[in-house]
Structure 1
Amino acid sequence: MAAADELAFHEFEEATNLLAQTPNETTTRSDQLSPKGHVAVAMDSGGSYGAEDEVEESDKTMLLQEEKQQPGFWTFGYYQSFFDVDTSQVLDRIKGSLLPRPGHSFVRHQLRNRPDLYGPFWICATLAFVLAITGNLTLLLAQRRDPSIHYSPQFHKVTVASVTIYCYAWLVPLALWGFLRWRKGVRERMGLYTFLETVCVYGYSLFVFIPTVVLWLVPVPWLQWLSGALALALSAAGLVFTLWPVVREDSRLAAGVLLSVVVLLHALLAMGCKFYFFQPLPPEPMASPHQATPPPPATMLPPTLPRSVAA
């Protein structure tokens, strides 16, 4: 029986003969023997050794790609990816919407081309319920100040707030996306955000109004207007800084009109919510001076005699 060294020598000899037949091919020799004691010789793309492994890997990759095909938009799996975010990502995007900075695009730095619908959906839902609840609490507090005011729960405000907030968060981005898409055909150098990215930007921009609405419960007019103006400035600034990299390649007139309309619609939303859900309270009833100090009771004076009789 041949020894192991003789078998290894014959294997090297076969490899040498194979290399002599194909001198232009590159080879690699493994330092360790295979489990069967053979030497592994890998050929280049021109040979048959090693190419079979690459073909098998490519076949596996193609099979995996076929299995992971993108589902249709009418299926639940299509929208599942837009809700695939964790708490830390949502918090980072909320912080980015609260702290807008010039030259800092919310889409590029916060979304990173991965928009989600989880954050915008719950932000709009929370804002709608907070508006309805605080609007009812305002009437309840007004009744305590003035008993003549009759308070009854106004459940229709939940519907009004939900329809208003969700229509604004979807229809305005749709109109903005359509306009930017049309302007991209006019100005080829203009960029363009996707529709979901635009919806995501508007949804996160509404978060700042949630604590602001809670502050509107404080019956101090100057505090209400100051908090509302600050929230509007932060939210509108975030929209302008995000849209500016897209519209700066357009003409100055078109860019100025577009950004002005965006800020104006945002201001109309804030003002509409302020005047509808937080109606001005009636002034406290003040007692009139006549009612505060009633006249003294009349005193009966004794009748006086004529002077002639007295004399």
Structure 2
Amino acid sequence: MASTSDPFQFKEFEEAGNLLEANRDATTISIEDEDVKPHKQRNAAGFAADEDGDTLGNDDQEELLSGQKKSVPFWTFEYYQKFFDIEAIDVKERIVGSVLPWPGKNFIHSHLRRNPDLYGPFWICTTLVFAIAISGNISTFLTQFGNPKYKYTPEFRKVTIAATAIFSYAWFVPLALWGLLLWRNNKVMNLVSYSFMEIVCVYGYSLSIYIPAVVLWILPFEWLRWCSIVVALCLSGSVLALTFWPAVRDDHPKVIIAIMSAIVLLNVLLAVGCKAYFFSSPSQRMPVHSSPPTDAVKTP
């Protein structure tokens, strides 16, 4: 039997035994249960454990903590959904920035902030299509009003032609420009690069100035039409030139002249072509009906 003065005797166990005898309803916690309790708590919280003991929600949690999302293919609707998630105040700011360009102010760096959208460009192009078609029909009606030989018929084909011209300019020209800048960026490493969606966004917002200009084309005054064309071309061309100048200024001089000239020339062709086709003069718009020749009848 151990001596009472033994220093190696565990008195704590005796005290614990006395406490348990005094309160038999008390619960005890084992050290081995500490590893089981968090596991049960995780299962109760809705995280199903796999065979290795890892929870299935770890991948989603790590993805949310890192701020990264899974990439989706560009041919799915989920890919383009983010380009339509934009506030109305941002669309208004970008329209104002495209109508009132400021020297030395890049539209992409000042307004897009690496967050391009397709909501504004889509509705700007759609509004411009209907504005051109409707204004062209109204201009024809006002010009020929009072002419007894003229019978008004709505020309719905103008909507199709205007849509083809506007959306082709707003999509295929940025696509060609993006490919050209990407090719030059591989040749000259220090060039500024823009994404395809950023270029599409710039071209879409640059067309917003043509909407009020087209409305003025309803009035049958050629001087007013040409003045509005010049103003719209200067503002729209300035937005494009100021935006894409940093992307080509370090390139070869001949390449700079070719790219900037193409950007301005295509903009001019769009405006002048729409004016010439949809708002031509009455003599050019109305077909000339010539009377069939009559053979002289000789009497015997």
How many residues in Structure 1 have an aligned counterpart in Structure 2?
Answer: 229
Q: CA deviation at 1:136?
A: 0.7
**Separation in structure 2 between the aligned mates of residue 114 and residue 159 of structure 1, nearest angstrom:** 31
How many Å apart are 1:68 and its aligned residue?
A: 4.1
| Residues 192 and 248, structure 2, Cα contact 8 Å, conserved in 1 | yes
Over aligned residues, Cα RMSD in angstroms? 2.3
Which residue matches 2:86? Answer: 85
| Aligned-pair CA distance for 1:191 | 1.2
C-alpha contact 1:202 1:239 (8 A) present in aligned 2: yes
Match of 2:109 in 1: 108
Return the alpha-carbon distance in structure 2 between the equivalents of residues 147 and 232 of structure 1: 38
1:230 counterpart = 2:236? no
Cross-structure match for 1:181: 182
Letter of the 1:80 counterpart: Q
State the distance in 1 between where 2:214 and 2:133 align.
10
Aligned 1:21-32 pairs, distance under 5 A: none
Equivalent residues in 2 for 1:192-207, closer than 5 Å: 192-207=193-208
Equivalents in 1 of 2:110, 2:96: separation in Å? 12
For residue 279 of structure 1, what is the aligned residue in structure 2? 280
Secondary structure of residue in 2 paired with 1:144: coil
Q: Which amino acid aligns with 2:148?
A: P
Distance in 2 (CA, whole Å) between partners of 1:184 and 1:241 is: 18
- Residues 93 and 110 of structure 1 are in contact (CA less than 8 Å); yes or no, is this contact kept in structure 2? yes
Query: What is the one-letter code of the residue matched to 2:233?
Result: L
Q: Distance in 1 between matches of 2:77 and 2:59?
A: 29
Instruction: Give 3-state SS (helix, strand or coil) of 1:157's partner.
Output: helix
CA distance in 2, matches of 1:178, 1:74: 19
Structure 1 residues 59 and 231, CA gap change in structure 2 (3 angstroms): closer
- Alignment partners' CA distance in 2, 1:114 and 1:240: 20
Q: What CA deviation, in whole Å up to 9, does each residue of 1:147-199 have, x standing for no partner?
A: 32332110100111111100110000000010111111111111110000000
What is the Cα deviation at residue 220 of structure 1? 1.7
> What SS is found at the alignment partner of 2:168?
helix
Post-superposition offset of 1:252: 1.6
Q: What does residue 64 of structure 1 align with? A: 64
- 1:77 Cα deviation after fit: 1.7
Aligned residue number for residue 241 of structure 2: 240
Q: Which moved more, 1:139-148 or 1:191-200?
A: 139-148
Counterpart in the other structure of 1:220:
221
Maintained 8 Å contact 2:143/2:220: no
Counterpart Cα distance in 2 of 1:276 and 1:77: 39
1:106 Cα deviation from its structure 2 partner: 0.4
For 2:142, the aligned partner's letter is: L
Structure 1 residues 63, 251: CA separation in 2 closer, same or farther (over 3 Å shift)?
Answer: closer
- Long gaps (5+) in structure 2: 1-54, 285-300
**Does the 8 A contact of 2:72 with 2:79 survive in 1?**
yes
The structure having more radius of gyration, on CA atoms, is 1
Give, in angstroms, the shift of residue 63 of structure 1: 5.2
8 Å contact from structure 1 (residues 131, 161) kept in 2: yes
Q: Deviations along 1:75-102, whole A, 9 cap, x unmatched?
A: 3221110000011000000011011122
Contact 2:95 2:208 in 1 (8 A): yes
| 3-state SS, counterpart of residue 101 of structure 2 | coil
- The answer to whether the Cα contact below 8 Å between 1:142 and 1:149 also exists between their aligned partners in 2 is no
Any stretches of 5+ residues in structure 1 without a counterpart?
1-55, 284-311
Q: Distance in 2 between matches of 1:78 and 1:138?
A: 41
Give the residue type in structure 2 aligned to 1:102.
Answer: P
Structure number with higher relative contact order (C-alpha < 8 Å, ≥ 6 residues apart): 2
Q: Deviations over 1:216-246 (max 9, x none)?
A: 1112221111011100110001100000111
Aligned residues: percent identity?
A: 49
Structure 1 counterpart of 2:161, which letter?
V
Matches within 5 A, 1:9-28: none
Specify the alignment match of 2:39 in structure 1: none
Residue equivalent to 1:254: 255
TM-score (structure 1 length as normaliser):
0.69
Q: Deviations over 1:26-79 (max 9, x none)?
A: xxxxxxxxxxxxxxxxxxxxxxxxxxxxxx9x9874153699423332332211
**Aligned equivalents of 1:110, 1:63: Cα separation in 2:** 29
For 1:167, the equivalent position in structure 2 comes to 168
8 Å CA contact retained: 2:141, 2:152: yes
